[in-house]
Amino acid sequence: MKKIGFIGLGIMGNPMAKNLINAGFDVSVFDLNESSVNKLVEAGAKASDLISMAKEADVIITMLPAGKHVHDVLEKEDGIFNNGHAGQIVIDMSSIGPTDAKNIAENAKKFGIETLDAPVSGGEPKAIDGTLSIMVGGDQSTFDKATDVLKGMGDDVVLVGGHGSGVTAKLANQIIVNLNIAAVSEALVLAAKADIDIEKMYHAIRGGLAGSTVMDAKIPLILDRNFKPGGTIAINMKDLTNVLQTAHDLDVPLPMSSQLLEIFHSLKADGKVMNDHGGIVQYYEKIANV
Ligand code: NAD
């Protein structure tokens, strides 16, 4: 059975690593936060460090906040690449930009290490259920060798193209998710201001064309005033910043995404950046005085 090293055991990494243990893989873990490591050790993982993991694991997975953390863990002197071995596979499942993902793939090649960029969608609930959507960038041969590992965490595991394609597909996904939450928020605030019972309206419209996974996931939480993350506004700001950087590199104007990033900045200035992105509704409530 493959030996897996898992780095980054936060909201998403914790359940994803647990699912790999449950699937029968031999899992070693590392995180800067000791209590996060201890939770995985209780679930059957072995605590490790970057150098030992690099030497021992067949497959290394990173699930870290942003590109700079992934570069650091993989490329520093006492990191994975310098201590790993040819034929090893590194799968970065974090949501980072395509330039970072392509640079990481190029650097890995110098060590004979194969990489995939394989970000996920579905949030904490699907990470817990092991039913994440996983969009993968890289070579077909690497994908074939790593499919069993990816299937341990997700249902829809799709190779969308070469290096950087997985994270680019994730950026496209984030445009749809976040603009959808913004649209739901605008609609809810309009209805609330008109004294419509939001819960009744939700049940009236959710089966029609407006219905969406976002609507079903976020409206119940908004009605409960539950903005515990989930995916924070901070994380989604990072994604939208990568979206706009990538769009500008490709000469693609994205007027709605630009505006939404400004809304995120407004929520940040208002001290709400660590709320779930369902908290976009709080921006609309404030400007409409609801
Ligand atoms: P998180 O902040 O909960 O977890 C990140 C973990 O990485 C933390 O435990 C932190 O201690 C650890 N870490 C940071 N730097 C490290 C380092 N140098 N070495 C070792 N460990 C380090 O984040 P998350 O919500 O689990 O998100 C992880 C990634 O998944 C992000 O890129 C995010 O955009 C993406 N994502 C998140 C969600 C979501 O709903 N939370 C959904 C899909 C994708």
pLDDT band at 159 (very low <50, low <70, confident <90, very high): very high
- Of all protein residues, the one whose alpha carbon is nearest to atom 8 of ligand 1 is 10
32 lines ligand 1 (CB under 6 A): yes
Catalytically annotated residues: 170
| Domains and their CATH numbers in the chain | 3-162 (3.40.50.720), 168-288 (1.10.1040.10)
Summarised one tens digit per residue, pLDDT across range 25-75 is: 999 999 999 999 999 999 999 999 999 999 999 999 999 999 999 999 999
178 lines ligand 1 (CB under 6 A): no
Give the closest residue to 138 by CA, choosing from 168, 179, 177, 174. Answer: 168
120 lines ligand 1 (CB under 6 A): yes
Per-residue pLDDT, 96: 98
Cα separation, 182 vs 5, whole angstroms: 37
Answer whether 0.80 is exceeded by the pTM.
yes
Query: What are the φ/ψ torsions at residue 13 (nearest 5 degrees)?
Result: -60, -35
**What ipTM score was computed for the predicted complex, to two decimals?**
0.99
The tokens for 113 are: 């290490």
pLDDT band at 177 (very low <50, low <70, confident <90, very high): very high
The tokens for 98 are: 């395509």
The answer on pLDDT for 166 being more than 90 is yes
Cα separation, 218 vs 227, whole angstroms: 9
Cβ pair 111, 81 in contact under 8 A: yes
Residue pointed to by tokens 């949501």: 95
Find the 69 Cα to ligand 1 centroid distance in Å. 9
98 lines ligand 1 (CB under 6 A): no
Find the 93 Cα to ligand 1 centroid distance in Å. 10
